[in-house]
Amino acid sequence: MEPTTRVVPQVQEHLEALKERLLVMGGLAEEQVRLVSAALVDRDVDLAARVQAGDEPLNILHKEIDQRCVRVLALHQPVAIDLRAVLAAVKINTDLERVGDLAVNVAEAVHRYLQHPPVDVAERIPRMADLAQRMLRDALDAYVRQAVPLAEHVLQTDDLVDALKNEVSAALVPVMEASPAVIAPALDVILIARHLERIADHATNIAEDVIFMVSARDVRHHGPTA
Amino acid sequence: MEPTTRVVPQVQEHLEALKERLLVMGGLAEEQVRLVSAALVDRDVDLAARVQAGDEPLNILHKEIDQRCVRVLALHQPVAIDLRAVLAAVKINTDLERVGDLAVNVAEAVHRYLQHPPVDVAERIPRMADLAQRMLRDALDAYVRQAVPLAEHVLQTDDLVDALKNEVSAALVPVMEASPAVIAPALDVILIARHLERIADHATNIAEDVIFMVSARDVRHHGPTA
């Protein structure tokens, strides 16, 4: 299977289009995370409802990108880094769709949470949302630019988000024990922290896919080089 | 790109090997779910610890299967249902690896939970674990046999698991409000229910991939046929 001069530029064109669509999808996912964090901070129930209803564009893009991936593999048989880039796109697409679902889950929890007086969340939740957004942006930027150091930076930031999630639970359990009235809203804050941590996990997955795509090196499971 | 009689049987051989490896991985994932549920029911801390330490075989298979997928695409350029079967394998592999992670998360929560006197979980947790296991088995069986009706059955069972998860939270919040001493263990039961529900979600993802693979019909997002 030799690449011909006729086929290779077509593959590149399709890959560029794929990347462009993934960036659009990533932008939408980030925006959902940004809005739901604002809904929590500003106690804006309407904004939370908008996020809850707002993932249809992501779902449509999810299907479109999957179809583009199948088509480019079927018609152009990319090899080496181009093949890995398409397989990375298949996975990144799944991750971004899940981020959209999780933003909706956060919005549902925010919606319930806002029915109660505020629980002190010590700025950890908006901070987690900011970090998750930045991780998503950096991971996609790393995909487009094939930038391994940036992808590695995303992996490091994930530890910070995990630590914040654990802090939220550790801080709220004694509050719940001291005051039964806050149990329901505190439970929602704990869930929100967990959903945000999972969003950060999806950004981490994307970063790992980028490292595999560029270097054909599998950094998952912290195991030896594959 | 015409299939030649020389190439097609090789693709079939590779696809069979892929399926066989995914079944092994699915069996390991199921077993982790089965064991962690037994650890909870029998209050067996050692068994929970075994599950916590037990996902290395899944991680190794995850990498191996990913490499097989890349290789079969690069060397054999499958088309039509064979191409969709490889792409489904890429996604199923990711789902099974996450199931392994989630079983470890359940085991961690079970481990913490067993430090406390039991909370009445009304048999819902072992029931959720049974359903999640069965969904995983059926989804993989549907993949191997290209059985759309079985995949559709998996999608239906997911609603039942979601309902059980909601029942667990609804039942435990008043218990927590009435008795601060159970807040920490009840919180772990709620987390366990959520992790099990996510395991069922991964089985659902696999079932959706099977339907797309067989019929080239995209049933995700409950939207119109793609």
Confidence category of residue A11, pLDDT binned at 50, 70, 90: confident
Q: What pLDDT, on the 0 to 100 scale, is given for residue B226?
A: 35
* For A92, nearest residue in chain B (alpha carbons): B91
* For A194, nearest residue in chain B (alpha carbons): B191
| Cβ contact B137:B26 at 8 Å | yes
d(CA A83, CA A90): 11
Min Cα–Cα distance to chain A from B154, Å: 19
ipTM for this model:
0.87
The pair of three-digit structure tokens given for residue A62, joined into one six-digit string? 């999810």
Q: What pLDDT, on the 0 to 100 scale, is given for residue B225?
A: 39
- Among the residue ranges A208-222, B42-56, B145-159, the one predicted with the least confidence is A208-222
In a domain, A1, yes or no: no
Min Cα–Cα distance to chain A from B79, Å: 6
Cα angle A51-B174-B117, degrees, rounded to a multiple of 5: 115
Q: Per CB distance under 8 Å, which residues of A are interface residues toward B? A: 1, 59-60, 62-63, 66-67, 69-70, 73-74, 77, 79-80, 83-84, 87, 90-91, 94, 169, 173, 176-178, 180-181, 183-184, 187, 190-191, 194, 218, 220-221, 223, 226
> Do B63 and A91 count as a contact with CB atoms less than 8 A apart?
no
Q: For all residues of chain A together, what is the average pLDDT?
A: 92
- Asked whether the predicted pLDDT for residue B7 surpasses 90, the reply is no
d(CA A130, CA B46): 39
- Asked whether the predicted pLDDT for residue A6 surpasses 60, the reply is no
Q: What pLDDT, on the 0 to 100 scale, is given for residue A215?
A: 86
Q: What pLDDT, on the 0 to 100 scale, is given for residue A224?
A: 43
- Closest among B91, B93, B84, B85 to B65, alpha carbons compared: B93
For residue A29, the domain's CATH number is 1.20.58.220
Q: Which residues on B lie below 8 Å from A67 (Cβ)?
A: 226
Burial (CB count <10 Å: 0-12, 13-18, 19+), residue A56:
exposed
Q: Between A209 and B225, whose confidence is greater? A: A209
Q: In angstroms, what CA-CA distances link A15 with A4, A84, A114, A140?
A: 17, 11, 43, 14
Average pLDDT over residues B79-90: 94
Neighbours of B201 (CB within 10 A): 21
Written as one string, the DSSP assignment of B66-116 is HHHHHHHHHHH---HHHHHHHHHHHHHHHHHHHHHHHHHHHHHHHHHHTTS
Q: Which domain holds residue A94?
A: 7-222
Neighbours of A149 (CB within 10 A): 8
Min Cα–Cα distance to chain A from B153, Å: 22
Confidence category of residue B123, pLDDT binned at 50, 70, 90: confident
d(CA A21, CA B23): 33
The pair of three-digit structure tokens given for residue A180, joined into one six-digit string? 């039964």
Q: What pLDDT, on the 0 to 100 scale, is given for residue A157?
A: 97
What percent of chain B stands above pLDDT 70? Answer: 92
- The string of pLDDT tens digits covering residues B62-74 is 999 999 999 999 9
Confidence category of residue A8, pLDDT binned at 50, 70, 90: low
d(CA B134, CA B207): 12
Average pLDDT over residues B106-116: 97
- Asked whether the predicted pLDDT for residue A176 surpasses 90, the reply is yes
Q: In angstroms, what CA-CA distances link B114 with A4, B44, B117?
A: 63, 8, 7
Average pLDDT over residues B15-34: 96
- The string of pLDDT tens digits covering residues B35-84 is 999 999 999 999 999 999 999 999 999 999 999 999 999 999 999 999 99
Min Cα–Cα distance to chain A from B64, Å: 9
DSSP single-letter state for residue A116: S
Residue B104: what residue type?
Answer: V
| Cβ contact A198:A159 at 8 Å | no
Written as one string, the DSSP assignment of A93-135 is HHHHHHHHHHHHHHHHHHHHHTTSPPP--TTHHHHHHHHHHHH
Q: Per CB distance under 8 Å, which residues of B are interface residues toward A? A: 1, 56, 59-60, 62-63, 66-67, 69-70, 73-74, 77, 79-80, 83-84, 87, 90-91, 94, 169, 173, 176-178, 180, 183-184, 187, 190-191, 194, 218, 220-221, 223, 226
Q: Which residues on A lie below 8 Å from B77 (Cβ)?
A: 1, 77
Residues 6+ apart with CB under 8 A from A194: A165, B191, B194
| Cβ contact B39:B51 at 8 Å | yes
* For B57, nearest residue in chain A (alpha carbons): A221
Q: What pLDDT, on the 0 to 100 scale, is given for residue A120?
A: 83
Neighbours of A20 (CB within 10 A): 11
Size of interface A-B (CB pairs under 8 A): 88
DSSP single-letter state for residue B117: P
Q: What pLDDT, on the 0 to 100 scale, is given for residue A121?
A: 76
In a domain, B1, yes or no: no
Confidence category of residue A223, pLDDT binned at 50, 70, 90: very low
Q: What pLDDT, on the 0 to 100 scale, is given for residue A220?
A: 72
* For A93, nearest residue in chain B (alpha carbons): B91
> Do A220 and B60 count as a contact with CB atoms less than 8 A apart?
no
Average pLDDT over residues A81-97: 96
- Asked whether the predicted pLDDT for residue B224 surpasses 50, the reply is no
> Which residue in the block uniquely carries the two structure tokens 């990319």?
A78
Q: For all residues of chain B together, what is the average pLDDT?
A: 92
The pair of three-digit structure tokens given for residue A212, joined into one six-digit string? 């595999």
Q: What pLDDT, on the 0 to 100 scale, is given for residue B84?
A: 94
Q: In angstroms, what CA-CA distances link B60 with A84, A180, B17?
A: 19, 45, 16
Min Cα–Cα distance to chain B from A201, Å: 11
> Do B77 and A80 count as a contact with CB atoms less than 8 A apart?
no
- The string of pLDDT tens digits covering residues B164-179 is 999 999 999 999 999 9
What percent of chain A stands above pLDDT 90? Answer: 87
**Sign for the pseudo-dihedral over CA of B190, B128, A203, B221:** negative
Of B63, B79, B94, the CB nearest to A226: B63
Q: Give the number of domains in chain A.
A: 1
- Asked whether the predicted pLDDT for residue B222 surpasses 80, the reply is no
- Closest among A110, A120, A123, A105 to A40, alpha carbons compared: A110
Q: Which residues on B lie below 8 Å from A187 (Cβ)?
A: 169, 173, 187, 190
Of A83, A177, A194, the CB nearest to B73: A83
In a domain, B20, yes or no: yes
Q: Which residues on A lie below 8 Å from B63 (Cβ)?
A: 218, 220-221, 223, 226
d(CA B212, CA A147): 33
